[in-house]
Each structure stands twice: as C-alpha cells, then as structure tokens.
Amino acid sequence: MKKPLNALAIIGLILGALLGMAGTFVSLSNLRSIFWAIDGVGLIVATALLTLKYFRAQNDLVAAGFLVYCIGEAVMLTGTANTLEASIPSFAAGTALWSAGLMLTSIPRTFASWTRLAGIAASILFAITAAEIFWGSPITPLGSPLPHFAYPVLVLTFIGWITALIKES
C-alpha cells in the first residue's frame, strides 16, 4: 500500500512543480489559471498523503508541516480563477501558510540536509512575500523579485521530497 501512495504523492509533487512554474511563464490568464488549478490540486493531494504518511510514522512535526502546507495550497487555490490583482488576499494567506508548513517540514532531520536548507530558504522567502503583502504592498503571484525567485527554491524542496520518496520505494 505504501508504494502506490508514494507514487501518487510523487505525481502530485511533479504536477505542482511543473505546472506551477509553467503558470508563471504563460501570458494567457486562462491558461495560467488552468495550470495553477492542476498544480494546486496535485499539491493538495500530495501533501495530504504526506501528512498521513508522516503522522502514521509518528513524525508529528513533519506531518503538521505537510498539513499546514496543504491548507495553504487550498487557500491559494481559491484565488486561482481570479485576476492576479483579485487573488492577492488568498495569495498572501497561502504564502504565509506555505512558509509555516515549509519550516515545519524542514526543522526535523527527516529529509536530506540540502532539502531542509531549500525548505528553510523557501520558507523565509515566502514569509517575506506574505509580510510585504500584509504590510500593504500589492504583490501578485507574478511579482518580482519576490515571489518570482522563491518558486525555484520551492521546486527544489519538492525535488528533495520526491527523492526521499523514491529512495524509500
């Protein structure tokens, strides 16, 4: 039973990484919304499965991190069909939760050091993004330098999680 669930989590993480990044580069808002919707659902499924996996393994901090990340992704998904400007509130809340979730998954020594470092770096970058938005800056999901440069670090964290799942299988 572990292998099919790991495979499903890997697929969700890959969809999230690929379509999330692709959505930042397409100019058509409808296509971007579709990419980000599939990305969001894939990551919600993946992190929900990872929550259960690490909870069952009694690794509560990592499980909580995946759960918080999952909630953040769900919050973010609510703004996906909006214009970029209309999505700012859900984006701010989602990035704040991403930040907390990434930090929770990165503190314990569950994953490789490089994965944990990427997770901590992404957590800090998304915390800064969320704080700036909550402070009043109208930063959209396509803002630069942040969150633009935070996404590749997030994807690197996903690659670390995928690597851990593959090694386990």
The torsion region of residue 136 among left (phi > 0), alpha (psi -120 to 50) and beta comes to left
SS (H, E, C) the chain: CHHHHHHHHHHHHHHHHHHHHHHHHCCCHHHHHHHHHHHHHHHHHHHHHHHHHHHHCCCHHHHHHHHHHHHHHHHHHCCCCCCCCCCHHHHHHHHHHHHHHHHHHHCCCCCCHHHHHHHHHHHHHHHHHHHHHHHCCCCCCCCCCCCCCHHHHHHHHHHHHHHHHHHHC
Q: What is the pLDDT of residue 58?
A: 97
Please report, for the chain, the start and end positions of each structural domain, with discontinuous segments joined by +. Answer: 2-168
Q: Would you state the pLDDT for residue 169?
A: 75
pLDDT score recorded for residue 130:
98
Peptide bond into 147 cis (omega under 30): yes
Query: Mean pLDDT for each consecutive 10-residue tract of the chain (169 residues)?
Result: 88 97 94 96 98 97 98 96 93 98 98 98 98 96 94 98 93
